[in-house]
Structure 1
Amino acid sequence: MGHSRRNYGQYCGLASALDVVGERWTLLIVRELLLGPRRYGELLAELPGIGTNLLAERLKNLVELGVIIKPESREHGYELTELGQRLREPVLMLARWGMSFLGAPDEGLEVRPHWGFLAVQAMIDPELAPDVDEAYQFHVDDVVFHIAIEGRVPRAVEGPYAGQAGVVARTDAKTFVEIGAKRLSPFEALASGRLSLVGETDAVIRSSVLLGLMPATAAPMASSTR
């Protein structure tokens, strides 16, 4: 009777979603692809412990279900379809929710710089976007990304900002995820030298409010006067 995927057998949107992404590793594959196309070898390297057979099986399932597109050649990577991209908000919300359960970063736990990029996206509160078009650039270990704000809409983008960033933050992945998990305050990270923020005070405050690192009430200059 060939290999068939397990399913909950429930006529419900949530059960149906979990039939697709509820299996172990699947959403972590999606997490990687939300950051951009990834080749098979890259996924294997970024998901230590998955094993080559399981990765192949999960990718095959996601391709069949129309969540990801198979690369045309070895040079190209797997990428999310439009349907797959619609997982961005739920994944970020789950990441934000999951940060409440993160303990201290154990020596045995993997941490990758680009997961810091996901942490930042999960931390952004669009409601608190400043009324100023500017960008905040992050250097997390050797990975660079930025948040660009245009017309009060923040966008997180891989790579450096083309213009002059209002704030440049430098840190390491572990510190960054700890800050996101609210286990470490930005002030403790700054004081211990694990985080550096360079920029005009007002811009640093606006970026801190946007990421929920500082209460909006503490920054009158960050609130819109419209």
Structure 2
Amino acid sequence: MKRRRRIYGQYCGLAGALDLVGERWTLLIVRELLVGPCRYNQLQSNLPGIGTNLLAERLRFLTEAGLVRQRGREGSKVRLYELTEQGEGLREPVLALARWGLGTLHAPRAEDVVRPRWGALAVEAMVDPGAVERDERYEFRIDGEVFHVEIEGGRVAVRDGKAAAEPALVVTTDPVTFVEIGAGRLDPLEATLTRRLSMEGDDGAVLRCSRLLGLLP
């Protein structure tokens, strides 16, 4: 029997949005798809704690609501879930929530899960476009996941899954250290001295990247 979804019944933009994405796990599914298209088993792996039936139900609803679609080669059993144009419209709200949420984080618990692939979205949330100083690229390596920030023509873009061409700075760290730095719980210098973080590049690039990500005044 199909479960009846509860709605707020309020003629309000926020209530309307929550009717679509306010249920538990929904925005975390959207977070995964904002990083890039995923197979069903990838979503389940990156969302530990969600039951397979609940994941299927959430994906079915998001598809019916026009926020998610499936794609794949004809005749192939491998299907990818991806955001539609309407679903992509959630990028800025989700980034704003992630940016706000960084300030609420305390020390990670032993049972807390963190995935390297979340790094690209975290960097996108941290970027201050007003802090752009010059066109260049910064590469991030987080436990085998690679992405980079590209500044071109004064515009900032985060490229997931791609190494940077001639990066001015290469940052290597682990997911927990990365989140703690973004949350302001760990100073990048301390992380470097304790070898939790390494940065390859000149001092100017380090300073420019740090200002871009709001890590320096």
Residue of structure 1 in register with 2:71 after alignment: 71
Q: Matches of residues 119-158 of structure 1 in structure 2 within 5 Å?
A: 119-130=122-133, 132-158=134-160
Which blocks of at least 5 consecutive residues in structure 2 are unaligned? none
For 1:54, give the aligned amino acid: L
% identical equivalent positions: 57
Which blocks of at least 5 consecutive residues in structure 1 are unaligned? 216-226
SS of 1:42's partner is helix
Following the alignment from structure 1 to structure 2, what is the Cα–Cα distance between the partners of residues 116 and 162?
A: 15
Q: CA deviation at 1:152?
A: 1.2
Following the alignment from structure 1 to structure 2, what is the Cα–Cα distance between the partners of residues 170 and 49?
A: 29
Q: Are the equivalent residues in 1 in contact too, given 2:33–2:81 (CA < 8 A)?
A: yes
- Comparing 52-61 and 94-103, the one that deviates more: 94-103
Q: Matches of residues 12-91 of structure 1 in structure 2 within 5 Å?
A: 12-72=12-72, 73-91=76-94
Following the alignment from structure 2 to structure 1, what is the Cα–Cα distance between the partners of residues 3 and 193?
A: 55
Q: Are the equivalent residues in 1 in contact too, given 2:147–2:164 (CA < 8 A)?
A: no
Match of 1:95 among 81, 91, 98: 98
Following the alignment from structure 2 to structure 1, what is the Cα–Cα distance between the partners of residues 5 and 70?
A: 19
Match of 1:110 among 113, 117, 121: 113
For 1:21, give the aligned amino acid: V
Following the alignment from structure 2 to structure 1, what is the Cα–Cα distance between the partners of residues 209 and 27?
A: 29
Residue of structure 1 in register with 2:211 after alignment: 209
Q: 1:2 to 1:159 in 2, by over 3 A?
A: closer
Q: Are the equivalent residues in 2 in contact too, given 1:39–1:74 (CA < 8 A)?
A: no
Q: Are the equivalent residues in 1 in contact too, given 2:138–2:164 (CA < 8 A)?
A: no
Q: Are the equivalent residues in 1 in contact too, given 2:35–2:118 (CA < 8 A)?
A: no
Query: 2:187 aligned with 1:185, yes or no?
Result: yes
SS of 2:37's partner is coil
Q: CA deviation at 1:162?
A: 4.6
Across the aligned residues of Structure 1 and Structure 2, the Cα RMSD in angstroms comes to 1.3
Following the alignment from structure 1 to structure 2, what is the Cα–Cα distance between the partners of residues 117 and 83?
A: 21
Q: Are the equivalent residues in 2 in contact too, given 1:148–1:154 (CA < 8 A)?
A: yes
Q: CA deviation at 1:70?
A: 2.2
Write out per-residue CA displacement over residues 15-54 of structure 1, whole angstroms, 9 at most, x where no aligned residue.
0000000000000000000011000010000000001000
Q: CA deviation at 1:6?
A: 1.1
Number of aligned residue pairs: 214
Following the alignment from structure 1 to structure 2, what is the Cα–Cα distance between the partners of residues 68 and 188?
A: 41
Q: 1:8 to 1:164 in 2, by over 3 A?
A: same
Following the alignment from structure 2 to structure 1, what is the Cα–Cα distance between the partners of residues 87 and 160?
A: 19
Q: CA deviation at 1:2?
A: 5.2
